[in-house]
Amino acid sequence: MNLHGLFDAIATAPTEPVLRSRFMDHIDDHFQADRWGIYLFNDQKMFASSDVHGVSEAFVDRYEQVGRAVDPVLQYVQKYHAPAHEQLVLPPGGWKQSQLYRLCCSEYDHEHIMTGPVLGQGQLTGTLHFARGQGKPAFNGVDIAKLSAVCTHISLKLASLRSPPLLARHGLTTREQQIADLVAKGLTNAQIGAELWITQNTVKQSLKRMFRKLEVSARAELVAKLSQPKQ
């Protein structure tokens, strides 16, 4: 699967478990990592779910006990909300002198690491992790650029999955909600009619009722109002 195929798979994931599964199944096509994982937090900033590949339970336990607190790459991600690898945040030779490498990574052959943020409402809502073993090259600027794009798509999709259904709060019927969603995507009345198997006139009359319900007079106002929680 190419990178845009991965973006499409992320965007169409219907639930968080499917989102995690699609990430886990296809992400190694793009980073040639030996180990990878996704950690997601809940509203209380506690771990809600995690999936890992190629990582032993012993490493996970060691990392949670002593590694997380001294992980310089994670600290960078937490501070700047940007992806990073060990060579980006440490001086030359600093990685193998770091506590994380000596306490965790050296024993479990995490020779190179990279971490990216999952963001929502200005907060860190999860992290993506990658590791390469001995004999593999370090992660580089191309890897960071690709991970930044993946993080953006996962962040947007996770925020969407966790958002309350705003349309229902405005008293719209199921059909009106469908029409509103297609209006937001920029479809014309004719295109909406074809998509929903209804006439163009039915779309037009439905929009008139929706305008009255929401007290707006234009499609742009309709979309803007449905973007905000009902007061």
Is residue 158 located within the same domain as residue 174?
Answer: no
Cα three-residue angle 81-41-224, rounded to 5 degrees:
70
**Cα Rg of the chain (Å, integer):** 22
Burial class of residue 95 (count of CB atoms within 10 Å of its CB; 0-12, 13-18, 19+): buried
Of the residues 139, 162, 185, the one at which a domain ends: 162
Read off the pTM: 0.72
88 and 199 together in one domain: no
CATH number of the structural domain spanning residue 187: 1.10.10.10
| Count of structural domains, the chain | 2
Tell which of 128, 147, 162 closes a domain: 162
Is 231 part of a structural domain of the chain?
A: no
Instruction: Specify the pLDDT at position 174.
Output: 79
Residues 129, 86 contacting (CB under 8 angstroms): no
pLDDT value at position 162? 81
DSSP category for residue 97: G
**What is residue 195's predicted lDDT score, i.e. its pLDDT?**
83
Token readout for 147 is 């991970």
Q: How far is residue 20's CA from residue 22's CA, in Å, rounded to a whole number?
A: 6
How many residues are there in the chain? 231
Q: Do the Cβ atoms of 40 and 118 come closer than 8 Å?
A: yes
Q: Cα dist. 221→156, 183, 213 in Å?
A: 23, 11, 12
Where helices occur in the chain by DSSP H, the ranges are: 3-11, 16-26, 28-31, 57-62, 72-80, 86-89, 99-100, 141-162, 174-184, 189-196, 200-214, 219-226
Question: Does some domain include residue 102?
Answer: yes
**Domain-located, residue 216:** yes
Residue 62: Cβ within 10 Å count:
17
Q: What is the pLDDT of residue 130?
A: 97
Range of the domain at 37: 3-162
pLDDT score at 206: 94
Whether residue 148 lies inside any domain: the answer is: yes
**The two structure tokens encoding residue 64:** 């949670």
* Shared domain check, 201 and 144: no
Q: Look at residue 211 in the predicted model and tell me its pLDDT.
A: 93
Structure tokens at 202: 């039915």
Q: What are phi and psi of 58, to 5 degrees?
A: -65, -40
Q: What is the pLDDT of residue 185?
A: 83
Q: Report the pLDDT value the prediction gives residue 166, as an integer from 0 to 100.
A: 52
Residue 70 and residue 86: Cα distance in Å, rounded?
13
Q: Are residues 136 and 189 in the same domain?
A: no
CATH code of residue 136: 3.30.450.40
Co-location of 133 and 177 in the same domain: no
Q: What is the dihedral of CA 80, 84, 87, 89, to 10 degrees?
A: 10
pLDDT digit string (tens) for the chain, length 231 residues: 788 999 999 988 888 899 999 999 999 889 999 999 999 987 656 666 889 999 999 999 999 999 999 999 999 999 999 999 999 999 999 999 999 999 999 999 999 999 999 998 889 999 999 999 999 999 999 999 999 999 999 998 888 788 755 555 577 887 888 898 888 888 899 999 988 889 999 999 999 999 998 899 999 898 888 876 544
Give residue-wise pLDDT tens across range 81-92.
999 999 999 999
**How many C-beta atoms lie closer than 10 Å to residue 152's C-beta?**
16
